[in-house]
Amino acid sequence: MWNWQSEKWPQFTYDENKLKELEFQFSKNTGTVLGAFKHVNDEEKAQFIIEILSNEALKTSEIEGEYLDRDSIQSSIKRNLGLSVDKKAVKPAEFGISEMMVDLYRNYSTELTDELLFNWHKMITNGRRDLNEIGKYRTHEDPMQVVSGRLDKPTVHFEAPPSDKMKEEMQQFILWFNEVHTSSTMSPIARAGIAHLYFVCIHPFEDGNGRIGRAIAEKSISLSSGQASLISLSKTIEANKKDYYTSLENNNKNLEITNWLIYFGKTILEAQLETLNLIDFLIEKAKFYDRYKGLMNERQLKVVERLFNAGPNGFDGGLSAINYTRIAKTSASTATRDLKDLVYNNILLKTGDLKSTRYWLNIKL
């Protein structure tokens, strides 16, 4: 028996006491993020929004096994935000997921409706030719199943309600979502966690349910906070994707979902900390340029900017002399002199020797 087959569906239950500490920490983190964000200048705020939305667009797709191009995603995000970008062609998949993330950011406070969900579905299936139903709920007669394993011997992890119940199920879901975010005293973590699980258990679309379900969770968090949440929810989930799928599977048979809400609450807290880390990074970036900008030539500035654009974790494995040569479009000998100068001025930190030498931004996080 799946949860939706219960006579009490969709009356989810949970132990509120076990969420109290998570809810307290959520409120505390929300205040900390707001306070930290006040110290970020307007230019860095714009970069922060682009970075968060880009990360979410990339990672929510990677959770589903779709790997997109980061530069194209960032270009699409900027274009959808109305910022100036080059006229480089962007593939439909990158443009579509970026369009949804910007819509989620800009219009988080609007009511959830069929039309909104249909528009999101059209965005994330942009360019697809393998789907029969785009921008509407599924109608096919075959069971909607989540499976893995061999084609001739699949493992069924979940079977969603039949397609002929989609209109009724989604009317009920949308009514619940809008009511719980306007008149209910339900806590933010419970709202977001139930919204995500409830939606993916209905599985109303032919494809794209995971991405839309995570967007719904972020919309819920934003509504609870009274502003666009801008947290790295999908990035945090993707880092431990197996735990995510296991938690979903462990909570799709019963309506008592305390364990799911504990898992999801901890994930939200981790995502908030990731956001704080990025804000700290941007604040340190501003301080960094105040200290060192006058000490760098154009080549060095170009490479340092690329390092910052790579985010708080920098280049995977660090910056090499070969990387420097390619980014700065210069000779090996000039790159060696530039790097030596950057290390001397404490702009970069050096690790390793010979071919293993790598360079890192000298910032404190």
SS3 351: strand
Average pLDDT, the chain: 94
Quick check: 25 and 69 in contact, CB under 8 A?
A: no
DSSP 1-17: --GGGSTTTT--B--GG
* pLDDT at 299 > cutoff 80: yes
CATH topology (fold) of 3-281: Fic-like fold (1.10.3290)
pLDDT at 52: 93
Residues noted as catalytic? 203
Which residues share a beta bridge with 351? 358
Residues 6+ apart with CB under 8 A from 321: 332, 335, 336, 339, 357
Q: What is the Cα 244 distance to its own chain's centre?
A: 14
* pLDDT at 177 > cutoff 90: yes
SS3 184: coil
Quick check: 197 and 231 in contact, CB under 8 A?
A: no
* pLDDT at 87 > cutoff 80: no
The reply, when asked if residue 292 is annotated as ligand binding, is no
pLDDT at 160: 98
The reply, when asked if residue 69 is annotated as ligand binding, is no
**What is the per-residue pLDDT across 64-83, written as a single tens digit (0 to 9) for each?**
999 999 889 999 999 999 98
Residues 6+ apart with CB under 8 A from 223: 108, 109, 181, 191
pLDDT at 365: 66
The tokens describing 336, both together, are 């060696």
Which residues share a beta bridge with 146? 158
Helix ranges restricted to H, the chain: 20-37, 42-63, 70-80, 92-106, 114-124, 166-180, 188-202, 209-225, 233-239, 241-250, 258-292, 298-309, 321-328, 332-344
pLDDT at 313: 76
Q: Give the Cα-Cα-Cα angle 289, 83, 78 (nearest 5 degrees).
A: 85
pLDDT at 43: 82
Residues 6+ apart with CB under 8 A from 112: 174, 177, 178, 216, 219
Cα–Cα distance measured from residue 184 to residue 192, given in angstroms and rounded to the nearest whole number: 13
pLDDT at 273: 94
The mean per-residue pLDDT over the stretch 176-192 comes to 95
Q: Give the Cα-Cα-Cα angle 65, 69, 75 (nearest 5 degrees).
A: 135
The reply, when asked if residue 244 is annotated as ligand binding, is yes
Cα–Cα distance measured from residue 5 to residue 323, given in angstroms and rounded to the nearest whole number: 57
The reply, when asked if residue 345 is annotated as ligand binding, is no
Bin 146: left if φ > 0, else alpha if -120 < ψ < 50, else beta.
beta
Cα–Cα distance measured from residue 41 to residue 112, given in angstroms and rounded to the nearest whole number: 32
The mean per-residue pLDDT over the stretch 275-291 comes to 90
pLDDT at 201: 98
Q: What is the CATH number that goes with domain 297-361? A: 1.10.10.10
**What is the per-residue pLDDT across 204-230, written as a single tens digit (0 to 9) for each?**
999 999 999 999 999 999 999 999 988
What ranges do the domains of the chain cover? 3-281, 297-361
The reply, when asked if residue 299 is annotated as ligand binding, is no
pLDDT band at 309 (very low <50, low <70, confident <90, very high): confident
Quick check: 61 and 214 in contact, CB under 8 A?
A: no
